[in-house]
Structure 1
Amino acid sequence: MGTPHSSRVLILTGDTGEGHHAAARAIARDLKRNHPTVAVQIRDGLKDMGLIVNALVRGGCLMQLQSSATNAAYGLLYEGLRRNRPLRSLAYSIAHTTGVEPLKRVITASGADLVVSTHPVVSVGLGYLRRHGRLSIPTATVLLDLGGLLFWVQPGVDLNVVMHRNIVQEVQRLAPCARCREARPIVDPVFYTPLDVNSARSAIGVNGDSPMVLVSGGGWGAGDLSGAIETALAETSATVICVAGRNERVRGGLRRAFRGRPRVRILGFTMHMHKLMAAADVIVHSTGGITCLEALVRGCPLITYGSPPGHAREYCQALAAAGLSRHASSKADLALALQETLTLPRPATPLFEDLPTPGQIIGELLCGQQAFTPVPISGERRPSAHCEEGLEAVS
């Protein structure tokens, strides 16, 4: 392992949602801030695993956006992979057979001293390479979700960096030979910069006296955004701002559906979520991921609603089980959650100063402060009871 001044870090992400890319960029900035001379490269590791893996994984995720039928089909596929060991083994076998060799070539060509993954399928490949002695450099996974741990946590990966202490115990159970470290949420530093409500509302052009509801479907504009907007309009007097991400079809449909409704504003992808969350009294979000971490850091009350079946729904339920959000499974639930949330004072912004950043933890590898010897792990892991039914706090 080289010194921090001569090290190279390869960060591998995947194009199945903006959160994976946002986390990769945040880790890169954090590493450069702590170790300015370290060379950091970001690549689409899912694409690097080859056409078959990329097409299967990305195509499966895109099923959520096509129709209610394909959305339901994706949910059944996800549940099958989560609960059925032979099906999961088959999926991993495809990833190992077709994706490991091209991934290994990319890592070798990069000259990296450390590889970091922000995508569970990439971690499948990294874990395989480490378990079989085909990759001599340390690897780390930065887990962006509180759910789907059976896929995120791969034996062979040296270090798992998690965003909340409630999942530490389960991660350690799934990968007992790896280190697990809790980090402060991996979001853009602007979310940690204080911004009062009045200044935020002035910046985005919203009346400072009326309530504001922010609706989000993540980078892909997934979930029941229309239902969330309709419920907010019917049950509150709030201004409703909806962020539809990069999904032009969804954004166009929402603009047509709510044309002439002065309390509604429809946006596409934006780099101003830190201002929107500071201005909002509550955010209604569908897909989990980085947006939920951003809301947690900003101290913006979070309601999850309209999540497509699969990993997003599992994550949203895990957030609620950890007491970090309210989960609404219907419009009636959402209406009640909005009414109750808007009557409460905004909670104090949580503090994370005592926690290291993911970049600081990863930097410890470059400084030689952590040593890892991955041990091959045989057999199949099963989710524990609290992984299936909720999250158990770590004492």
Structure 2
Amino acid sequence: MDALILSCGTGGGHNSAAKAIAAEMHMRGHRTTILNPYTLYSQKLAAKIDSTYVSMVQNRPHLFGAVYSAGQMYRKLPCKSPVYYVNRRMIPIMENYLSNHHYDVIIMTHLYAAEIITNLKDRHIELPKTIFVSTDYVCIPFTEETECDAYIVPAKDLVKNYVQLGIPKEKIHPFGIPTDHSFSKTENKEDVRKRLHLDLQKKYILIAGGSMGGGTIKDTMDALIKGFSGRKDVALLIVCGTNQKLYDALASNPAENITVVGYTDDMAQYLHAADLFITKPGGLSSTEAAVCGIPILHTAAIPGCESYNAEFFQATGMSAFCRTPDEALAKATELLFNDEEASAMLQSQQDQIDKFAAAKICQYAESCVWQ
């Protein structure tokens, strides 16, 4: 089987999900192509779309929240969104690409890609089976105006949300968010810490702001650095992602109990090594942590889908959601030293999150092609 996986770099989660699906496909003997569709127009356009999003999230998260809120209001109107119409110009480009490349299935991990495919369908251009994979715990604005053969959603409890917004129930499959095998792998914490040259006796708090180090996570970091200053039994692991400004600020003032990491492809190892994960509530990164099995504290949510992600995780017992840095500090201390509460959170993660989402998505794709 030949699969085309369309994604964009507006946040690391979409590409991570695409890579997880591709890895599973390869294990099953299939061929895959991961493509940012805008690169077919120009590399410059693709880079511009990605960088504009990243800059907004890192520097002006509340502006992103305003844009998301506008999308929520716009979706109530009886017309297609601007996102749909902007992607019209991709019709001849994408049609030409598909006419020169054979694929049995198209899998999309980003809304923009689904909008491009919908434009093609509206022009009655023949396409293989199309599957949209959601990477957030909510039906994000304009998903309902897309036309795909199937929609993969993160959890059964979210099916109602998608149906209410107009997506046919028979098209919805709650397989979960796909994650790389490294996160579900059973690891011995002591062995992982030795590989990462970490202290075997301390409790480690892993702090990250997603691949971009976005949101207002820096305020939470400052509160934790101050709150745990001088303690010999607790250390902080801070992953800055691609946020060089944040990395430079932290690395320029090193402390004895803080380890600062820039961008890493080895996030699974850090999750396996730590005792608590504090992060903004990205859908993919939160799912990866739950698959690893580590207590999660969500904070610094970028207004919009991340707020819904945090609320879903908290409502199902998979994380604690703290709105302020001081609240995060208090809750972090509680989770670090309350084994009963931490164990209950890990059990909720096991009950809610399917570690084999990537496999189920690929199995479904096979059934679509080989039926």
Q: TM-score range by the shorter chain?
A: 0.7 to 0.9
The residue that corresponds to 1:19 in the other structure is 13
Q: Which residue of 1 aligns with 2:330?
A: 336
Query: 2:297–2:322: 8 Å Cα contact kept in structure 1?
Result: yes
Structure 2 residue aligned with 1:367: 370
SS across alignment from 2:50? helix
For the 8 Å contact 2:129–2:369, the answer to whether it is kept is no
Q: CA deviation at 1:207?
A: 1.6
> Match for 1:98 among 89, 99, 102?
89
Aligned to 1:379: none
Of 255, 260, 265, 1:266 maps to 260
The worse-fitting range, judged by mean Cα deviation, of 239-248 and 39-48 is: 39-48
Matched, 1:277 2:275: no
Change (3 A) 1:186 1:76: same
Q: Tell me the equivalent position of 1:146.
A: 137
Partner of 1:393: none
Q: Deviations over 1:188-236 (max 9, x none)?
A: 1111111122222222222222211101111111122322222223334
> AA paired with 1:189?
H
The percent of aligned pairs where both chains have the same amino acid is 18
8 Å Cα contact 2:213-2:246 kept in structure 1: yes
Q: Which residue of 2 aligns with 1:228?
A: 220
Q: Which of the residues 67, 71, 82 maps onto 1:77?
A: 67
Q: Do the aligned partners of residues 52 and 171 (structure 1) sit closer, same or farther apart at CA in structure 2, a change above 3 Å counting?
A: farther
How far 1:178 moved relative to its partner?
5.1
Q: Secondary structure at the match of 1:150?
A: coil
Give the letter for the 2:326 counterpart: A
| Number of residue-to-residue matches in the alignment | 356
**How far did residue 130 of structure 1 move?**
2.8
The answer to which of 56-65 and 121-130 deviates more is 56-65
Q: Shift of residue 184 of structure 1?
A: 4.8
The AA in structure 2 aligned to 1:252 is D
> Matched residue of 2:302: which SS?
coil
Deviates more, 1:76-85 or 1:136-145: 76-85
What's 1:244 paired with?
240
Extract unaligned runs of 5+ from structure 2. none
TM-score of the two chains, using structure 1 as the length reference: 0.81
Distance (Å, rounded) in 1 between the aligned partners of 2:52 and 2:237: 29
1:240 aligned partner, one-letter code: L
Alpha-carbon distance between aligned partners in 2 of 1:338 and 1:66, rounded to the nearest angstrom? 24
Alignment of 1:1-395 (within 5 A): 7-34=1-28, 36=29, 38-48=30-40, 54=46, 57-58=49-50, 60-65=52-57, 67=59, 70-85=60-75, 89-173=80-164, 174-176=166-168, 179-236=171-228, 237=231, 238-256=234-252, 259-345=253-339, 346-347=342-343, 348=346, 350=350, 352=354, 356-368=359-371
Aligned-partner SS, 2:126: coil
Q: Structure 1, unaligned stretches of length 5 or more?
A: 1-6, 369-395
Is the Cα–Cα contact under 8 Å of residues 187 and 272 in structure 2 kept in the other structure? yes
| Secondary structure of residue in 1 paired with 2:66 | helix
Is residue 172–residue 178 contact of structure 1 (8 Å, CA) maintained in 2?
no
Please give the secondary structure, in 1, of the residue aligned with 2:215: coil
The residue type equivalent to 1:22 in the other structure is S
- Change over 3 Å in CA distance of 1:312–1:285 after alignment to 2: same
Q: Report if the CA contact (8 A) 2:58-2:212 is conserved.
A: no
Deviation readout 1:65-118 (Å, 9 max, x if unpaired): 563xx4332221221112234598441343343233323332333221211001
Distance, in Å, in 1 between the alignment partners of 2:257 and 2:366 is 47
Distance change in 2, residues 1:88/1:323 (3 Å): farther
Higher helix share: 2
Aligned partner of residue 141 in structure 2, secondary structure: helix
In the TM superposition, residue 327 of structure 1 has moved relative to its aligned partner by 1.3
The question of whether the paired residues in 2 share the 8 Å contact of 1:53 and 1:95 is answered with no
Assess if the C-alpha contact under 8 Å between 1:127 and 1:157 holds in 2.
Answer: yes
Q: Cα offset for 1:329?
A: 1.0
Farther-moved stretch of structure 1 (78-87 vs 269-278):
78-87
Alignment CA distance shift 1:43-1:207 (3 Å):
same
On the 8 A contact 1:31/1:360 being kept in 2, the answer is no
SS at match of 1:357: helix
